[in-house]
A and B are shown apart, each in its own frame.
Chain A
């Protein structure tokens, strides 16, 4: 499945990671025959893979049944990865202030290649709230968080991103959708704010704002999702965001992404949401 570019150093390990990703993406605990059918691997290969994964804490047996779900280790690795972004710990007090100010869910989304990934978030005080998850990924052009980042990247990067989408076979935005995105980007450049109505929740609104380094380039974005977003709060939220940007400007090296040394085109990710054909 991962292919030509990623030659199999150890073919057994490649199968094991394929099995692990299948378990990761399943809504329900998965059994040997189901995984075997989906990956076109023999039942014994899948069984051996699951046995190895179980022994190392990557999957665990579901209620003593011959079905498996994700174990503790992948969650620990994800936590460790997100903790590597210095912005994660540094932004918490600011996100907390925004959550207190609005009562809504506030998240920080870091740029990772041509994706945005949620690395930190704080829930507000409201009973009805927007539930988010850490580690959520989306190509930059597909989410409000990503568009807030794109708005403060050079135009040349927009073209590079479209080339990346071509190269990886990801569904590119239609010309109409891209024009709409560009309009949003242009608006964000003027106001520093993007807004949208969330699907399935009429009247719910989401707001995103870029978080920039000392050069004015976006390294992350903040999103606020909630049932009722009071527009009179925006100036206060921008001022809190400005404080975070001031902190970043003081020591820009500290806040460089742990993956900044890897060319954006080499960062290719796939999950239920991104659905990249690699």
Chain B
């Protein structure tokens, strides 16, 4: 009996500890300070639970009160939690759990894509086991105008840079009409770019023997540039009807990912890391 009580207590203690760690994780973003009510709302915990967690974190100096004494900010003792023998997580490592979450939510193929000059490159992802799938080829290149991810990567460039891309593609097509599988329609591309800039994500319906729908979401950096794009898609007949209902959840997952990626600058090639 005593053993049972002890093990229940231990389980409870670990639940409490997991809550403490979850509260601390909320500070892993560029939002500097939180109040108890905000954390409670954000984490779906009672104010009392959050208060107890914060009390322990303050006691351990992982969280400190701000100068007003009313709100809480990340504490200096977090600096003890780093390992000089292992490298800082890469962009792919940061995105991996979110690729998994989106795949579990939609059941469709998910890919992580970045821009390399005039191309989009698949750098990670999960291919669905369902019939009729996007082929996920890690390392494969696609012209930026060829799909939703590419349009999204183009949309947040300067207008001049987009016109430069269009001109280069036109020059390529003049030399070799088969240079791109999908011809570039300048007006349609600009129309889509304006839509993407307004709603902050892209969709594309590819008409083929099996019409395919894809949606692409931006992954922002510390300076409002793009690290890359997360894309999900499948046969329109299957993914099309469920997409509107899933959109809010997809945006929430991406918002959570961007809280992390916004801690890093996309063009930080020569910067020292942790």
Contact = CB atoms under 8 A, between A and B. Distances in A.
Interface of A: 2, 6-14, 16-17, 20-21, 23-28, 48-49, 51-53, 55-58, 69-70, 72-81, 83-84, 89, 92, 96, 99, 105, 107, 112-113, 117-118, 120-123, 132-137, 258-262, 267-272
B76 A259 contact: yes
A66 B85 CA distance: 19
Given A56-B25, A73-B25, A77-B74, A269 B79 contact: yes
B86 A69 contact: yes
Contacts, number: 174
Interface stretch (B53-61, B116-124, B156-164): B53-61
A56 B79 contact: no
A75 B20 contact: no
A272 B82 CA distance: 10
Interface string B78-111: 1111111110110001100100000000000000
A272 B74 contact: no
A27 B29 CA distance: 27
Contact of A69 (B22, B24, B83, B264): B83
B74 A16 contact: no
B14 to A, nearest CB: 5
B3 to A, nearest CB: 12
A117 B67 contact: no
B59 A48 contact: no
Interface in B11-67: 13-14, 16-18, 20-22, 24-25, 27-30, 32, 52, 55-56, 59-62, 64, 66-67
Contacts of B64: 259, 262
Contacts of A51: 14
Contact of B81 (A24, A112, A117, A272): A24
Contacts of B209: none
Contacts of B52: 9-10
9 contacts: A8-B59, A9-B59, A16-B21, A81-B76, A81-B79, A105-B272, A118-B272, A121-B272, A267-B76
Contact of A10 (B32, B56, B83, B84): B56
B207 interface: no
B86 A81 contact: no
A53 B21 contact: yes
Nearest to B20: A13
A78 B76 contact: no
Contact of A80 (B17, B27, B94, B270): B27
B12 to A, nearest CB: 9
B56 A112 contact: no
Contacts of A53: 21
Contact of B76 (A73, A134, A269): A269
B272 to A, nearest CB: 3
A261 B30 contact: no
Interface string B236-274: 000000000000000000000000100110000011111
A230 B222 CA distance: 34
A51 B77 CA distance: 22
A72 B94 contact: yes
B73 interface: yes
Given A112-B79, A133-B274, 19 more contacts: A12-B17, A16-B21, A24-B81, A25-B83, A51-B14, A53-B21, A55-B18, A73-B21, A74-B81, A75-B82, A78-B81, A78-B274, A81-B74, A113-B76, A123-B270, A261-B66, A261-B67, A269-B76, A269-B79
A46 B32 CA distance: 32
A253 B10 CA distance: 47
A24 B59 contact: no
A13 B222 CA distance: 32
Contacts of A48: 10, 14
